[in-house]
Structure 1
Amino acid sequence: MMPDQEHPRETVDRTRLAAELAAAVAELGAAGVASPRVDAELLAAHALGVARGRLLLIDTMRTAEAERFRSLVAERARRVPLQHLLGSAAFRHVELAVGDGVFVPRPETELLAGWGIERTGPGALVVDLCSGSGAIAVSVADETGAGRVIAVERSAAALPWLRRNASAYPVVEVVAGDVTDPGLLSELHGAVDVLLCNPPYVPDGTAVPPEVSEHDPAEAVFGGGDGLVVIRPVIELAAALLKPGGHVGIEHDDVHGAAVPDLLRADGRFTEVTAHDDLTGRSRYATARRR
């Protein structure tokens, strides 16, 4: 028997990557996904186990990879969040583990995190309220010399994700607590340098995409009839926790461009109240300084 008859060369069925991507883009576009091309490429890279930039160097997919890709695309077409399918969400310079039970961090929150990072000096004490996945807290720990970062979250479903993401950063402490509790972190009254918060702020009844309504926890999205039910006690708590001259930043809905700065001014314990827009020009967060 000839050697190649004794050990026949294995053949692997393949399919063209370009054709698979085109079909995926069409399917996702028809399903109403906002960025079908980007999502299709990220899912293809995930199925192939490569970085998205490497797709330019790949012509074909093995049959098993193509089947995995098609399955992921079908899930995305059902509006399962892209980040759930990838298992992670990019936020500033870090990758955060996310999944069922935790709010997927949004790019606009990177602006609030960046504002806080710019005001965090070496050894600073930073508090991140409504921490969720820990996006803000982890970014502060990753990009600054903060001495202590306290991440507060009340959701039993979100806390495991927060602890997982914070575990690589010794300065981050996870606290299970409710930001509407006036006694929260009472031992730190007057000691905090920077306080940041991305609370639930969407007014009840507001129409949201299926990725949000069916997958993000409602308690992390909706903030009561006017969207300010959590923000009001957060402002009160910030005033108690911050040291004189300390900074606070709070994300809010785009309908709150005047309401949240007005609440900060009305409290009477803040100065330098400033409204900030996101990159699309929508009102997104308000900042102030403790008198």
Structure 2
Amino acid sequence: MTAKRLLEDATAALEAAGVPSPRVDAELLLSHVTGVPRALLAVAARPNDLQRKTYLEMIDARARRVPLQHITGSTAFRYVDLEVGPGVFVPRPETEVLAGWAIESCAALEAPVVVDLCTGSGAIALSVLDEVPSARVHAVELDEAAYGWAVRNLAGTGIDLRQGDAADAFADLDGTVDVVVANPPYIPLDAWESVAPEARDHDPSLALWSGDDGLDTMRMIEATAWRLLKPGGAVGAEHADVQGESAPAVFAARWSDVRDHDDLAGRPRFVTARRP
């Protein structure tokens, strides 16, 4: 079977399964199996029997809405590559904008101290260090399985990674931190049906659900950031696109320069604030 026919059949199967980007996913998986760049698949890919068998198994898994990144075992985030799989939240492109804010916030500082709360795979922490090598980066993750993935991704970087609850993490850094950044869980408990199967069925529960209004963890982030930050320090935290007003309201009482920011699609995505 030619690569073209494989792609056509795979795309049809993924489309029938409701996968949002069937052709792209079909191409990415065939490129992963054969090592041929996506742009050259139709002319250069010559999958052998083992590659075809592996590819069809991957397409079957994707049709069952297993995340693409779990199938390939990796994902790109800004300028770094991360290992991901069952037990860890797969970082989304929207979060790259939040990471960019954290990086820009460090730009004018000589040796910024950065804390990444709810680090998951370690995506934001690793990106900050990659783009601001002078930064002293600390990260914490509660979930044991996710922490294991962070250990893999941050090994050898010098990032201070700890396992524990972000609510009381890094007491030794109280009042000394320049930037706190977090991609916390923010989905309300009653929003189960609205969540894509890739997230609902495969991302860890601790990374998704956050109380009746989706803001329980945001309130914890607000309190923890207040404790950690030095005067003038900044916090940034991701939220759902329907929380463009409710998330900033969490910081309204005692923070200055409270602002909400859109993602690349123009949807409300993260709040930032500064400790007076």
The question of a shared fold, defined as TM-score above 0.5 by the shorter chain, is answered with yes
User: Contact between 1:80 and 1:215, CA under 8 Å: does it hold in 2?
Assistant: yes
1:209 aligns with 2:196: yes
> Which residue of 179, 185, 195 maps to 1:194?
179
Partner of 1:66: 52
1:45 aligns with 2:38: no
1:244 aligns with 2:231: yes
Using structure 2 for the length normalisation, give the TM-score.
0.95
**Structure 1 residue runs without a partner (length 5+):** 1-14
Shift of 1:180: 2.7
User: Contact between 1:140 and 1:146, CA under 8 Å: does it hold in 2?
Assistant: no
The residue type equivalent to 1:80 in the other structure is V
User: Contact between 1:261 and 1:274, CA under 8 Å: does it hold in 2?
Assistant: yes
* More divergent stretch after superposition (138-147 vs 197-206): 138-147
User: Contact between 2:36 and 2:44, CA under 8 Å: does it hold in 1?
Assistant: no
**Structure 2 residue runs without a partner (length 5+):** none
Compare the two structures and name the one with the higher helix fraction.
2
Moved over 4 A (4+): none
Could you say what secondary structure the match of 2:144 adopts?
coil
Q: How does 1:79-118 map to 2 (within 5 A)?
A: 79-118=65-104
Shift of 1:59: 4.5
- Compute the RMSD of aligned alpha carbons: 1.2
1:151 aligns with 2:139: yes
User: Contact between 1:112 and 1:249, CA under 8 Å: does it hold in 2?
Assistant: yes
User: Contact between 1:246 and 1:289, CA under 8 Å: does it hold in 2?
Assistant: yes
Could you say what secondary structure the match of 1:114 adopts?
helix
Shift of 1:56: 4.9
Shift of 1:244: 1.1
Q: Deviations over 1:225-284 (max 9, x none)?
A: 100111101101101111111111010111211111111111x1x211111111222211
Partner of 1:10: none
1:127 aligns with 2:115: yes
Partner of 1:27: 13
> Which residue of 75, 91, 94 maps to 2:61?
75
Alignment partners' CA distance in 2, 1:252 and 1:59: 41
Aligned length: 272
Partner of 1:177: 164
Partner of 1:7: none
User: Contact between 2:82 and 2:123, CA under 8 Å: does it hold in 1?
Assistant: yes
Alignment partners' CA distance in 2, 1:240 and 1:69: 50
Q: 1:256 to 1:74 in 2, by over 3 A?
A: same
Could you say what secondary structure the match of 1:64 adopts?
helix
